[in-house]
Homo-oligomer: A and B are copies of this chain.
Amino acid sequence: MDKLYRRTQILDLLGAEPAATQADLRRKLERRGIRVTQATVSRDIEELGVVKTRGGYRLPESAEAAAPQPALSVILKEFLREVRQASNLVILKTHPGNAHTVAVALDAEHWPEVMGTVAGDDTIFVATHGAREAARIRKKFLDLWAA
């Protein structure tokens, strides 16, 4: 149904407490009205870069301490690996562990097209109102990256 919503819920759940197994996480999603199979949870976990320890699935540790933020273009050149688009989403792939850094820098820009971002370990979802806006900011990313 709504992949982005489901993944946001996953991040929210894991932020609260780790999930012992994927089946456990699936049950917790179900309690929030989201019914999917373990296979889908497995795919979400991959995409979000969620990490597994013996204590269960957890969010990746946040990367860097606060420091004066370099310009977005510098950060992109440092961490960005790939830019994709899926209708109203732009998906940024970063080097492992640095999605958060990029997302923070992006949020600070306050681009009008950007309705929200969700960052995993090496993936960022940038939500826009529609595909038109997504295409526009996708181009902005590519331009800044190349700059």
A interface residues, Cβ below 8 angstroms from B:
45-46, 49-55, 58, 60-63, 96-97, 121
With A60-B61, A61-B60, A62-B61 in contact, is A52–B55 under 8 Å at CB? no
A60 to B50 alpha-carbon distance, docked (Å): 13
**Closest CB pairs A-B (n = 8):** A46-B54, A52-B52, A61-B61, A51-B51, A51-B53, A61-B62, A61-B97, A49-B53
| Identical subunits present | 2
Q: A45-B54, A61-B62 are in contact. List 7 more A-B contacts (CB 8 A).
A: A49-B53, A52-B52, A53-B96, A53-B121, A58-B96, A61-B63, A61-B97
A121 to B50 alpha-carbon distance, docked (Å): 16
Residues of B near A96 (CB, < 8 A) are: 53, 55, 58
> A52 touches which one: B51, B61, B62 (CB < 8 A)?
B51
